[in-house]
Every structure is written in C-alpha cells, then in structure tokens.
Structure 1
Amino acid sequence: MNLTLQDVAWHRSVGQLIECVDRPGFWLALTRHFDEYVNVDSWVALLFSNGRPHVFAESQYEGDGSDPLFNDYVKGLYLLDPFYIANREVLKSGLFRLSDVAPECFDQTDYYKLYFTHNVVSDEVQYNVQLDDSRTLCLSLGRKKRFSPEEIALLDLMRPWVAALMRQRMFFEGVLAEKSAAPQTPQWQGSLEEAMKQRGTPLTARELDVVRLMLSGRSNKEIAYKLAISAETVKVHRRNVYGKLDIKSQSELFSLFLKAQIES
C-alpha cells in the first residue's frame, strides 16, 4: 500500500486529537483539524436538551468580553434556530446542513437578519450525536460563504470518527451534561405566555404555536400543514395575535418574543 504525505499528515492529526480528548483544548483542536481540509469561520460545541442549550466551547469573539448576540441565542433565540427545532422534533445523529432544516421563509425572519447573518453570515453545517432520548451533542460549523457539495461530502466522510470523538468527549463533560438532562417546562411556552399575561393580552395555546412557527420562518402553508389546519385559519390566528398584542408587523412580534425570553 502506497501512502501519500497527505495520508500521513491525516493519521498524525487524528492521533493527536485522540491524545487530547480529555484536555481543555479538545474542541479547538478538533475545529483546527477541520480547517486543514475545509475552511470554517466560526464554530460552537453545545448540548441540546429539554432546557436551554449548554455551551461547552465556541470560536473566539473578536470584540471585548463575551459575544452579546450569542448570549441572546442562549437566553432564548435558540428557540428559533432551525437546527434546534429540527433536533427537538426528531432526535437523530448525522451531519445536517442549513438547507436541510431551514423552513421556507427562514431568510426573511428577524432571527436570520439580526442574528444569523451577523454570527454565522452565510452557511452552517452541524454534526449531531444523539446521546439518549433527550440529549444531543452538537458541533456547528459556520462560514462566510456556502459549503460546496465536495466539502459537504468530505465533512460527511469524516463523520464516523468525528462522532466517535465527540461521544468520548462527553465523559469529560459529564457533570454539566447530567445537569442539563433534568426535565423542564418548555421554555418557549412558559415565558412568552407569562409575558403576554402581564400585558393583559393572553394568547391561546394554538396562537402561541402559530407565533413560534411564524418567527422560525414557516410560511402559512407550512404552518397549516404542521398544525393540521387550513392556511386561511393560520391567517385568522395571525390577525388575532397582532390585534391582541396591538402590533402591526412580525418585527414587533420578534421584539416581544426576545424581550420575553431574556426576562424569563
């Protein structure tokens, strides 16, 4: 068997990753390994569970202190994240691309305009490793330009050993992961409903469902299919929500949502 210098470098890098799986710099070492083959501009390792995501590590923020936009993500914006929504609907291991999980009108949402285009910029892929019936370990890779089909194929080729390393890493992240597994009331429903009650404009459970799907970028047709109602009924719910909240746009609705999540 003939080995190229690239083959030798690959095996050496993987060996080094295995060596540091129990060390603080593991996630950084793993993402630097990706960068040797597929350019990545931002990344985050986090745990999806029944409550707020727990962040294990993330790419360095260029400003002073912590990234304020990412702090907003952890406080509540994650509820509009297509990757989070898809994972909570169907827990599944694999490599997922933004185009696989984003709803029809995602690029028209305030989440996309105010958060995604600032933190991720253009495209995102995510390795998911399902740990049990409620927890998924995730590694998200963001980039300023779209990943090519060839790059996606290479990342998928890497997936078996990346997933194995991520799963092994959980042994050393175990204490925090166990705390995140405790059952919690769905944060979306609780905080927004409470905020609406304080305004004297309580929304029904169905109206809250419509709000959540609207803000995540679902079209009326997608919402209707998801809730097993007609598109006209969706429009009625939308008008009722705007009337109860005394607002006129989805941007105003997004602002109320974000305020409710942060205050909760």
Structure 2
Amino acid sequence: MELEWRDLAFHREIGAVIEALDSAQFWTRLTRALERYVLFDNWVALRFAPGEAPLVCAESPTPDGTVDAMFQDYLAALYQLDPFYIAATDKPASGFVTLADVAPDNFSMTDYYQRYFRKNIVGDEVHFNYMIDARHTLAFSLGATQRYGDRDLAVLELCAPWVIALLRQRLPYETFGATQQQRGDAPAEATMDAATDTLATADTPAYAARFEQVASVAGRSPLTAREVEVAMLTLSGFSTRAIAEKLTISFETVRAHKKHIYTKLNVNSQSELFALFYEAGRQGG
C-alpha cells in the first residue's frame, strides 16, 4: 500500500485525537483533524435528552473570549425549536445528520431561523450523533457560514464511523453542563452516572411550562396540550399540512388550533407568537 504525505498527516492527527481521549484537549484535537479536509466556522458538543436543556461538553471559543449571549439564549429556551434537537429526542439514533435531513418544510421562514440560526450559525450545520441510550444523545455539531458542498458532506459522512466511535470512547471522561468559560482548563473526569443525577420527566416538555408562563401574563387563556404542540411545531417550521401529517389530524383541525392559539394569546402573527415564547424562555431559563 502506497501512502501520500496527506495520508500520513491524517494518521498523525487521528493518533493525536486518540491520545487525547481522556484529556481536556480531546475536542480541540478532533476539530483540528476534521478541519484539514472541511472548512467550518464553529463547533459545539452537547448532550441531548427529551424535556431537558442541552448539556454542554465543549464549544468553540468566541474571538474575544467572552460568553456567547446568543448561545445562552439557545440553552435557555431556543433549543426547543432546533431541528437537530427535535430529531435527536424524537427518534434518537447514531449517525451523521445534515440540516436537510431534519429541517421542517418551512424552517427558513421561521423567526428561529431568521433571528437565531442565521445570526449564530449563518449558513449550514451538520451533526455527528452517538445514541448513548434511549433518552440521551451525544451530539457533535459543526456550523459553517456557507452551505456545505457535496464534497464536504461526502467527506464528513466518510469520517462519520470513526468520529462516532471516538464519541463513544470519550463518554466516560466527559463533563456535562459547564460552559467552556466556566470550566477553564479543568480536566474532564466525570462519569456518565454523575452527569445523569438529575433528569427531567419526558412526560412534561419544557415548552409546556413556557406557554403556561406566557398564558399567565396579562390574564391570557391557557392553551390545551394539543394547542401547545401545534404552537411549537409552527414555531419550529412545520407548515399546516406538515403538522396535520405529523399529528395525524386534518388540515382544517390544525387551522382551527392555530386560530385558537392566536386568540387565546392575543397575537396576530407567528412573529408575535415567537416573541412571547422567546421572552418567556429568557425569563425562565
């Protein structure tokens, strides 16, 4: 077998990643190995679980070293509109996932996309997911200011088997929950058991509490469980027809639910509905 210098450099990088499995340098080494072949602008490693805010393993540093305020908004509430979070908690599975795989049909028209995604990630995003168990997924996200090309996606998918295998091997050494600014240079030495000491109940989604809080303000009428579901799917980017298919109800029933939601919450548009949800999330997060 003949190897080119690029192959040798790749093998050295992979060796460095494996060597760092039990150290605080693991995520940096992993991103360095991948950025030799695909350009991306930001990255974050998270643990997803139904009904819980994502827990942070590590994140790319901001240029000035300060806390990313928009990312804090994501962790407080906006994660509930994230198509990657929704997909990972709805049907958890290990694998390589692109934005096109999970984005709802009206995703680019949502306020979440316009006010958060475009400003924070800007162009595109992919995930390497490792399904820890039926409730938990370790997600490694790569965000780019431009759309990934076919070559980029092909290369990342080719890397997926060893990246996901490394995520599995990393798990026993991972510390969940603290942001990069909070952790500093502390070694990652917590176990999965310590990370799962407190679990929210999956039966009560966090967004239900958000809408309960919204309804309690200024004497608004509370939403039914089905109306909360429709509201969240609407904010996430599902069209009326897509909501009907997902919930196995009629198109007209979805329209009726939307009318009731707007009337009860005294809003006239999806943007106003998003503003209520966003503010409640910031206050409650």
**TM superposition score normalised by structure 1:** 0.95
Partner in structure 2 of residue 167 of structure 1? 168
Partner in structure 1 of residue 211 of structure 2? 192
* Correspondence for 2:272 among 249, 252, 257: 252
Partner in structure 2 of residue 228 of structure 1? 248
- What letter corresponds to residue 37 of structure 2 in structure 1? Y
CA deviation string 1:177-234 (max 9, x = no partner): 3236554532111232243134432011111111000000000000111111111221
Partner in structure 1 of residue 40 of structure 2? 40
Partners of 2:59 and 2:159 lie apart in 1 by 20
Partners of 1:179 and 1:100 lie apart in 2 by 32
Displacement of 1:149 after TM fit? 1.4
Partners of 2:163 and 2:198 lie apart in 1 by 22
- What letter corresponds to residue 192 of structure 1 in structure 2? F
Displacement of 1:65 after TM fit? 2.2
- Give structure 1 stretches of 5+ with no counterpart: none
- 168-177 vs 207-216, greater mean Cα deviation: 168-177
Any conservation in 1 of the 2:13–2:29 contact (CA below 8 Å)?
A: no
CA deviation string 1:49-80 (max 9, x = no partner): 13110011111123562111000000010000
Query: Percentage identity across aligned positions?
Result: 45
Any conservation in 2 of the 1:110–1:254 contact (CA below 8 Å)?
A: yes
- The alpha-carbon distance between structure 1 residues 180 and 138, as it changes in their structure 2 partners (threshold 3 A), is farther
- 104-113 vs 241-250, greater mean Cα deviation: 241-250
1:125 aligns with 2:126: yes
- The alpha-carbon distance between structure 1 residues 64 and 247, as it changes in their structure 2 partners (threshold 3 A), is farther
- 28-37 vs 103-112, greater mean Cα deviation: 28-37
- What letter corresponds to residue 5 of structure 1 in structure 2? W
- 173-182 vs 194-203, greater mean Cα deviation: 173-182
- What letter corresponds to residue 203 of structure 1 in structure 2? L
- 122-131 vs 184-193, greater mean Cα deviation: 184-193
- 175-184 vs 222-231, greater mean Cα deviation: 175-184
- What letter corresponds to residue 41 of structure 2 in structure 1? D
The number of residue pairs the alignment matches comes to: 264
- What letter corresponds to residue 216 of structure 2 in structure 1? K
Partner in structure 2 of residue 22 of structure 1? 22
Partners of 2:64 and 2:8 lie apart in 1 by 38
Partner in structure 1 of residue 228 of structure 2? 208
Partners of 1:211 and 1:3 lie apart in 2 by 55
Any conservation in 2 of the 1:42–1:141 contact (CA below 8 Å)?
A: yes
- What letter corresponds to residue 189 of structure 1 in structure 2? A
Any conservation in 2 of the 1:191–1:260 contact (CA below 8 Å)?
A: yes
CA RMSD of aligned residues (A): 1.5
CA deviation string 1:74-113 (max 9, x = no partner): 0010000000011111011100000110001100001000
Partners of 1:208 and 1:22 lie apart in 2 by 42
- 141-150 vs 59-68, greater mean Cα deviation: 59-68
Partners of 1:157 and 1:199 lie apart in 2 by 53
- What letter corresponds to residue 177 of structure 1 in structure 2? A
- How is 1:73-112 mapped onto 2 (pairs within 5 angstroms)? 73-112=74-113
Any conservation in 1 of the 2:227–2:257 contact (CA below 8 Å)?
A: yes
SS in structure 2 at match of 1:140: strand
Partners of 1:77 and 1:229 lie apart in 2 by 26
1:179 aligns with 2:192: no
Any conservation in 2 of the 1:47–1:177 contact (CA below 8 Å)?
A: no
SS in structure 1 at match of 2:196: helix
SS in structure 1 at match of 2:172: coil
- The alpha-carbon distance between structure 1 residues 31 and 261, as it changes in their structure 2 partners (threshold 3 A), is same
Any conservation in 1 of the 2:211–2:223 contact (CA below 8 Å)?
A: no
SS in structure 2 at match of 1:236: helix
